[in-house]
Amino acid sequence: MTDTVQHELDGANGAFKVVVLGDRSDQPNPACAMVYGDPVDGCPVRVHSRCLYGEIFEATTCDCLFQLRMSQKVIRDHGSGVLIYLDQEGRGEGLLAKAEGYRLCQKTGIDTFDAYAELGYKADSRSYADAVALLKHLGLKEISLLTNNPAKWEALALAGIKVRQQPLIMPEPGDLARAYLAAKELQGHMFSLTSRRRRRMDITRKVVVSSLTRFTGRSKARAGQ
């Protein structure tokens, strides 16, 4: 049996149960779950990684805050579900790596994934083992995963969870967020967009690829000097 600490909590949109993973002493902020209603197999589940810039600073360069709020709404509308929160800032590399990546992006025009590669970080080093532990503790063997990231549901599926991916429908993104979403698409993420938004994303993706090509050319030129 997985060791957890549980309690009730009143939120702005109703009461729910908090379940904190208690057997990860090496982590100052262990994984936790917001359990709404009485979730059963097939219920909506969001596995969300911490994003200081998006959730607290409300940065317009990412979609993390939107995904968090939309997932909470889907869960409430369904009547039950689970939101798992992982302290994995910067796609698992930490806040400092994230800040370094942003700085390089602003200097060169490349996206955060390629900035991480230039800095020697993995594009995504997150682990979903704690999410699996929480799901199994809650007795959930089958879920409707609220995500646009195929790698996330693949990780849960490999751990024995039966997963149905439920993409989050994106709103009209701003220019900065559109560039980030275009970079995500290059990494395999899938988005539900209108044809108008899709055309704008296609244009932005071409700009992202063009910026990367120019940066790669400059890097090779410097290496040859």
* Catalytically active residues, by annotation: 124, 126
CA distance 193 to 169: 7
| CA-CA-CA-CA dihedral for 192, 193, 199, 203, to nearest 10 | -60
Question: In Å, what is the CA distance from 133 to each residue of 1, 158, 164?
Answer: 10, 13, 18
Distances in Å between the Cα of 173 and the Cα atoms of 57, 82, 144, 191, 200 are 17, 26, 25, 12, 10
SS3 content of the chain, % helix, strand, coil (to 5): 45, 20, 35
Residues near 80 by beta carbon (within 8 Å), at least 6 away in sequence: 36, 37, 38, 39, 40, 43
Calpha distance 62→71 (Å, rounded) = 16
